[in-house]
Amino acid sequence: MGNKPVMAIVLILVIVACVAFMVRSGAKKSGAPAGGGSQERDLICLACEKSFKAPMKDEEWMPLQMQGKNSAKKVKCPACGKDEGVAAQKCASCGELVPAAGMMGMMGPGAKAPMCPKCKKPLTQMAKGPVAAPAQPK
Query: Can you give the binding site for Zn ion, defined by CB under 5 A?
Result: 45, 47-48, 77, 79-80, 91, 93-94, 116, 118-119
Closest of 48, 22, 26, 43 to residue 35, by C-alpha? 26
Q: How far is the CB of 84 from Zn ion (least distance, A)?
A: 6
Q: How far is the CB of 105 from Zn ion (least distance, A)?
A: 15
Phi, psi values for residue 102, rounded to 5°: 80, 165
Q: Integer distance in angstroms from the first to the last C-alpha of the chain?
A: 67
Q: How far is the CB of 121 from Zn ion (least distance, A)?
A: 5
Nearest residue (CB) to Zn ion, 67 versus 85: 85
Nearest residue (CB) to Zn ion, 57 versus 90: 90
Radius of gyration of the chain (CA): 25
